[in-house]
Structure 1
Amino acid sequence: MSTSSSSSSSEGGSASSFQRRTRSRKGVWPEPFVEALAVEVASDANLNAGRLAAAQALVNIFQVCPRWRAISRSELLWQKLTRRIWNADNLRHNTWREEYIYQHRTAANFRQRRYEHTTLPFIPAYNLNGLLCQRLALSNEYLAAGFSDGGVYLFHLPSRVHLSTFYPLERHRLGRFSRSISGIILSDVRVVFATLDGDIHTTTINDGIPLRRAHVGDVVGDGALIDFTGSNRWWVGLYAGAPERAIQIWNGETEELVFVGGTLTDPEAVMGWHSLSDMTDLLGRVRMTGNEKAVACTSSRMILFDLQNEGVILVELVLARGIMLGCFDANYYAALIADQRGIASLRWLMDANEICRFRVRGPALGCINAGYAVIINSGVIRVWEIERGQYLYTFRERIGGDCSAIIADERRVAAAAQGGIIHLWDFGAQ
């Protein structure tokens, strides 16, 4: 398999020593033991030198003897390795070994600035001048862009074709921007999106079923729905405007509201009401993480809460220098937090302890995937490796005008510029 060149010489020496120690016992170690050892060695390499180093560690293990090389063809082993190193549960290639290689090569492309850049065309040509792209969402096959007039535009990524446009169903609304998109949940089969007034709409892709309203917002009772995120299992809304109603959680499968509460945004209540009629700065962010949890923040405070246990707060962090909300994001194990002075840090979600830090030029927008942070300021996009906080490179392309939204997954980065232009960078393994 393809391996990373980033493994250190000391790791190679350690592997050679390991081979000498085990060669005399190579014929007696059972297959489950060797598989467990391979997972442990790859995990150690991941923790000590980064995800790309795991591949070289595995090569060293499988060179011990022919029997161990034969064990390297185990599908169960590659499934475990893919989940442990890349946090990938879905098989999109023929085998789990191919899936691991794909994830490795794509991450290597991300590190080495190998990508294809394009812009996504709106067909037919919509007049988006004066409209602001508020949210972007990515799945394996699609990208969705949500605008300040309530429009959600869906693109098919392999063909770069604009497939369809969705608008919230009409009803009496309070405020000029009450239809503005506050969040999108996107998979390869379904689109769910929310508007500032609290309405949630959903539809499936490519089956002809019309858009329907899954939840009718109560803007008077709840305030403005300032951010919205989720998965197939959960929907999570962050509100500002009413006391002790900051967080709402739905069962994404049954669409049942299961929790309302929290005081996170109580200090932002007045600005929450203003957002319905004026374009205001970001008031808060909410992001899904792994293990049935979500993380939310305002300009001064961050909380990690349990989605299964009535929104119980697990971790709380208050930053004296404030939080630059445009740069707040989270993956399955950590959160990216930048303070108002431009010091960005990656923090473990389990305890808010710092993993690394680096400086960004603010004001900025930013996002992360499992291994990299992508920050845009004044049209320039810079990339950091978040395992070490190492600056890597700048994108070759600049974004004209202000960027209003940016998102990254393990393969792609998308950013919205003035005039409704959606830029897309694809790091997919070739």
Structure 2
Amino acid sequence: MSTPSPSSSSEEEDEDAGVDEFEAPSHSRQRFNSSVWPEPFLEALATQIAINAAQSFGRLAVAPALANIFQVCRTWRSISQSAPLWQSLTRRIWHRYHLLHPTWQHEYIYRHRTARNFRSRRYTYTTLNFPPNNNNEPLTCCRLALSDHHIAAGFSDGSVRLFHLPTGLHVTTFHPHQRNHLGIYSRAVCGMFFADNRLVFASLDGDIHVASIDVPGAPRRAHLGDVVTDGVLVDFTGSDRWWVGLYAGVPNRSFHVRNSTTEELVFIGGTLTDPDAVDGWHLLTDLTGHIGRIRITHDDLAVGFTSRRVIVFDLTNQIILAEEEFRRGINVGAADAYDKALVFVNSRGVANVRHVPSLEEICRFMARGSLLGCINGGYSFISVGGGIRVWELDHGEYLYILRERIGDASAMICDERYAAACSSDNAIHLWDFGARL
């Protein structure tokens, strides 16, 4: 692991004034006696104002809006110490459902300051080097996955390397169960995600494995893929409730949805990738193409992308909520969805930010030359010309380019704290925007 190098914006403005109001009491702005207003009403009012601010101006606008509420008078100020209020706001605004900090108020403040760091390019940069494989053959990183404490990298030989984020140390390498190959890249990792203390990953041949993070041992094969029957598994993702695979190669079998608890198949169907059947088969011998992407949002909705079509699929009821076809092709590698937004870049280099599930346009920006991309709740990271450029998603404002140039990325991911990418230099490039409280 390389030595971390801090990077920060040259701006000296106080970007956390709204948050600081939550911690430093002030009695200079008392206006009227509102002691007759019940506390639950004030909490509900504060929550609604926060939601309105987030929807109208973005999540960073919530803190100053709340600060104005808390300054009305001493009674209104007192609700700033309400643990249920901060728990509700942290879940609604930042989609955090468990604590990493002492209180929900501290958790909210940390999330706000971290989001400000994303906007102002304040981060710590490190690289995590891959341990060599047994044959010392070159590896291509195909997928990345992030959790609060770990990052996993999935490779073209089917192996998955797990790293501990706080220390940057390599923890272990998972190897899938071996069987006959149909194509030299049939074992290549096509998708993975963390769920509780497990890492779930899948390969192009349709095999799905589950590995324990806490208990050493070989991964368990949860499903044996059947390429001839189902086609090639081009992308795979999941959540606490669902596992979703996107297949290409066999008609009317684009989506495979599994219950994450029982691991049983609950739905097979869809025609999203039917026009890409031939390209799907080619992935078994050539990894350079991107056929389709599948993502799950916080509302149990799946967003599917191909080069010509985007759909939003209700996983609970197995119905399509919205879909759109495009005359100009979509760069599937730069398509992503997170929370209430999705992003895709068309053949002219125009990035569209759409609302999930309606597909209503939020904004657009220019991202010519894009190769890969990913988004979190407020920002878009797109690999362009060997560097990674960042836009905000509320208005499509271009913010900056990360200082470190890594060449053409083969895999990218970001969440509400980290951004990570792999290229041909056998390392994970990791940018940590986490606030230091």
TM-score by length of 2: 0.91
* Cα separation, 2, equivalents of 1:303 and 1:128: 41
1:339 partner amino acid: N
- Preserved contact between residue 232 and residue 252 of structure 1 (Cα < 8 Å): yes
Q: 1:392 aligns with which of 388, 399, 406?
A: 399
Paired residues for 1:132-211 under 5 Å: 132-187=140-195, 189-211=197-219
Match of 1:422 in 2: 428
Gaps of 5+ in 2: 1-12, 19-28
Q: Secondary structure at the match of 2:425?
A: helix
2:428 partner amino acid: I
1:5 to partner: Cα distance: 5.9
- Preserved contact between residue 146 and residue 152 of structure 2 (Cα < 8 Å): yes
Q: 1:125 to 1:277 in 2, by over 3 A?
A: closer
Aligned residues: 414
Q: Secondary structure at the match of 1:324?
A: strand
Q: Which moved more, 1:271-280 or 1:120-129?
A: 120-129
Root-mean-square deviation over aligned CA pairs: 1.8
Match of 2:415 in 1: 409
1:4 to partner: Cα distance: 4.1
1:92 to partner: Cα distance: 1.5
* Cα separation, 2, equivalents of 1:266 and 1:81: 42
Paired residues for 1:280-359 under 5 Å: 280-309=288-317, 311-359=318-366
TM-score by length of 1: 0.93
Q: Which moved more, 1:25-34 or 1:44-53?
A: 44-53
- Residue 249 of structure 1 pairs with residue 257 of structure 2: yes
* Cα separation, 2, equivalents of 1:342 and 1:369: 20
1:355 to partner: Cα distance: 0.2
- Preserved contact between residue 237 and residue 286 of structure 1 (Cα < 8 Å): yes
- Preserved contact between residue 174 and residue 218 of structure 2 (Cα < 8 Å): no
- Preserved contact between residue 3 and residue 52 of structure 1 (Cα < 8 Å): no
* Cα separation, 1, equivalents of 2:287 and 2:121: 35
- Residue 117 of structure 1 pairs with residue 125 of structure 2: yes
* Cα separation, 1, equivalents of 2:118 and 2:370: 24
Paired residues for 1:214-253 under 5 Å: 214-253=222-261
Q: 2:85 aligns with which of 77, 100, 113?
A: 77
- Preserved contact between residue 142 and residue 188 of structure 1 (Cα < 8 Å): no
* Cα separation, 2, equivalents of 1:276 and 1:233: 29
Q: 2:41 aligns with which of 16, 33, 39?
A: 33
Q: 1:350 to 1:128 in 2, by over 3 A?
A: farther
Match of 1:12 in 2: none
Match of 2:52 in 1: 44
1:126 to partner: Cα distance: 7.1
1:145 partner amino acid: A
2:199 partner amino acid: V
- Preserved contact between residue 174 and residue 211 of structure 2 (Cα < 8 Å): no
* Cα separation, 1, equivalents of 2:270 and 2:294: 13
* Cα separation, 2, equivalents of 1:44 and 1:6: 20
1:417 partner amino acid: S
1:377 partner amino acid: V
Q: 1:124 to 1:195 in 2, by over 3 A?
A: closer
The C-alpha deviation readout for 1:243-289, integer Å capped at 9, x for no partner, is 10010001111111111111111111111112112334100000011
- Preserved contact between residue 4 and residue 53 of structure 1 (Cα < 8 Å): no
Match of 2:4 in 1: none
2:397 partner amino acid: Q
- Preserved contact between residue 45 and residue 53 of structure 1 (Cα < 8 Å): yes
Q: Secondary structure at the match of 2:329?
A: coil
1:380 to partner: Cα distance: 1.1
Q: Secondary structure at the match of 1:413?
A: strand
Q: Secondary structure at the match of 1:143?
A: strand
The C-alpha deviation readout for 1:350-383, integer Å capped at 9, x for no partner, is 2111001100022421110000001111211111
* Cα separation, 2, equivalents of 1:205 and 1:47: 37
2:223 partner amino acid: H
The C-alpha deviation readout for 1:23-55, integer Å capped at 9, x for no partner, is 445121110111111112222222232211211
Q: Secondary structure at the match of 1:176?
A: coil
Q: Secondary structure at the match of 2:333?
A: helix
* Cα separation, 1, equivalents of 2:17 and 2:87: 23
Gaps of 5+ in 1: 8-18
- Preserved contact between residue 380 and residue 393 of structure 2 (Cα < 8 Å): yes
1:127 to partner: Cα distance: 7.3
- Preserved contact between residue 121 and residue 161 of structure 1 (Cα < 8 Å): no
1:420 to partner: Cα distance: 2.2
